[in-house]
Amino acid sequence: MRTLIVSLLMTVFSSALHAQTNRIDLIRPDAPELASFGAFDTGVRTVEVTDSNRPDVLNMRNGEDTPLYDRSLTLEIWYPAQLASAQSPGTQYQTRTRNPEITATLTGRSVRDADSLRGDARFPLVIISHGYPGNRYLLSHLGENLASKGYVVASIDHTDSTYEDQQNINSTLYNRAMDQRFVLSAIADFSETSDHFLSGVVDANNTGLIGYSMGGFGAVNNLGAGYSDAGVGFIAAPPNGLLNELAASNPDFTASLDPRIKAGVPIAPWGMNTGFWDAEGLNGIRVPTLFVAGDADTTSGYENGIKAIYDQAVNSDRYMLVFKNAGHSAAAPIPLPVEFLDREDSSGADHYTDPVWDTLRMNNILQHFVTAFLDLHLKGDADKASYLDLVEDGADGVYAMNPDGRARPNHTYWQGFGPGSAVGLKLYRN
């Protein structure tokens, strides 16, 4: 009997632990300064949008006319909110994971369907684009965090590329950049629709684009880098040279770019190590860009991948944040959901973990730098420039602060970081 009671208590405790542990709003004590949440309460809504007459990549055949279809996307939108007196921060998100057998319950601080905060000024738009596969909750920690700082954040479920509906990569190769463009236009329409919760709230003319892995692949394209001719002919590319539409050699490509995109954050962007990018195409990036990389990334590559993209994007005011010894899961994904723990089948767990770095710590560091970068380039907050003007290698910084908080003349440590906490990081600037 005692054994049964203990077993029941452990079951209850385990369920409570699962309900409380998957928080996407945690800030570690050693997190850098700008990782903390901002002053705004946040709301969240799920929205469906449909792009009519999109090329139907999965049903295309070489030499045949291109079929068209209506492509639907699910968005999770976080935004500054005006909470009613009876509302308090907090919500849960049910999300499928990289292991199709596991559904996780995430806990955040946003309020479902809360009223938007309206005022004299509109909030810049940030679009988040997940990896292949992934979903709109993979970077939900960043979505909530940025909304609390005065951004409207739209995170996309990319059809044919989510955990639930992953299809041949040829669909993702074409649709990733096109989805990002379409969502920007859809949000812009919402901002001018009188009865929409984003009416008068969002400034879509001032947009930042954040993409992880294949999301970064699409982001690099929309930031101005047309695909190479080798990429157009990639073995898994869509039929009939469909990617020519987004290629650097297409004379109409540059004119097709959306000028409302003012800054970008490609995290572990894919494609350089498989020939999708070259110097000609990367020369086309002319907006400020913050690249994020792990220098042990074997999926997108580092020297022959992310760093090569950064090195050749010579016309961009650009930065690259590097997590030393981190792999492809650096910074972007939420921490490993506790539903993965104590299972015989732990497949998919490495999607959320890194062999060297703690995921929450990486998330907090990403929140810090993305805040500084977007505040500088989307809000014109010049004070944030000092958070990006740093000694290249964090391990080389000298921490020398007086007890009253003033820096000594020899203080060169990364702004916003505590002593010793920038070790393991680099920030390149060109």
Which pLDDT score, from 0 to 100, does residue 307 have? 98
- Residue ranges and CATH numbers for the domains of the chain are 2-389 (3.40.50.1820), 392-425 (no CATH)
Q: Which two tokens stand for residue 136?
A: 């709109």
Mean pLDDT, range 350-362, rounded to an integer? 98
Q: For 140-196, how does the pLDDT look when each residue is reduced to its tens digit (9 = 90+)?
A: 999 999 999 999 999 999 999 999 999 999 999 999 999 999 999 999 999 999 999
Query: Minimal CA–CA distance to 211: which of 248, 251, 184, 187?
Result: 184
Which pLDDT score, from 0 to 100, does residue 346 have? 86
Per-residue pLDDT band at 14 (split at 50, 70, 90) = very low
Task: Give CA angle at 350 (345, 355), nearest 5°.
Answer: 125
Give SS3 for 383.
helix
Q: For 270-311, how does the pLDDT look when each residue is reduced to its tens digit (9 = 90+)?
A: 999 999 999 999 999 999 999 999 999 999 999 999 999 999
pLDDT above 60: residue 115: yes
Strands 103-108 and 42-55: unpaired
Per-residue pLDDT band at 128 (split at 50, 70, 90) = very high
User: How far apart are the C-alpha atoms of 93 and 106, rounded to whole Å?
Assistant: 5
pLDDT above 70: residue 92: yes
Model pTM? 0.94
Mean pLDDT, range 404-409, rounded to an integer? 93
Per-residue pLDDT band at 53 (split at 50, 70, 90) = very high
Q: For 41-52, how does the pLDDT look when each residue is reduced to its tens digit (9 = 90+)?
A: 999 999 999 999
Per-residue pLDDT band at 9 (split at 50, 70, 90) = very low
pLDDT above 50: residue 3: no
pLDDT above 90: residue 334: yes
DSSP letters, 95-155, are EE-SSTT-EEEEEES-EETPEEP--SSPEEEEEEE--SSB-TTTTHHHHHHHHTTT-EEEE
pLDDT above 80: residue 11: no
pLDDT above 70: residue 1: no
Length of the chain: 430
Which pLDDT score, from 0 to 100, does residue 19 have? 44
Which pLDDT score, from 0 to 100, does residue 20 have? 57
Which pLDDT score, from 0 to 100, does residue 345 have? 87
Q: What percent of the chain has pLDDT over 90?
A: 93
* Burial class of 310 by CB neighbour count within 10 A (0 to 12, 13 to 18, 19+): buried
Q: What percent of the chain has pLDDT over 70?
A: 95
